[in-house]
Amino acid sequence: MKQRTRRLLIIAGAVLALVVIVSSIANRGACSYYGYQLDRETRYAPFVGCMVKTSNGWALRSELRTTQQ
């Protein structure tokens, strides 16, 4: 593999990793703020999303209306 191609692949991988990390931090912050607004316990689960604690256990934030009690 040429030196230039290798360097570009490394830079592209580093940029991709940085985007994933920043996105994860933003999602965690949004989930935490959502819990602060509702005065409920929330938890961010990678690959799942924001979870809100209900009387029946943990529910996805997007499905909270259908399971809210």
Calpha distance 59→51 (Å, rounded): 5
26: left (phi over 0), alpha (psi -120 to 50) or beta: alpha
Four-residue CA torsion sign, 28, 30, 31, 36: positive
**Tokens 């938890």, residue?**
43
Q: Print pLDDT tens along the chain (69 aa).
A: 799 999 999 999 999 999 999 999 999 999 999 999 989 999 999 889 999 998 888 999 888 776 655
Name the percent of the chain in helix, strand, coil, to the closest 5: 60, 20, 15
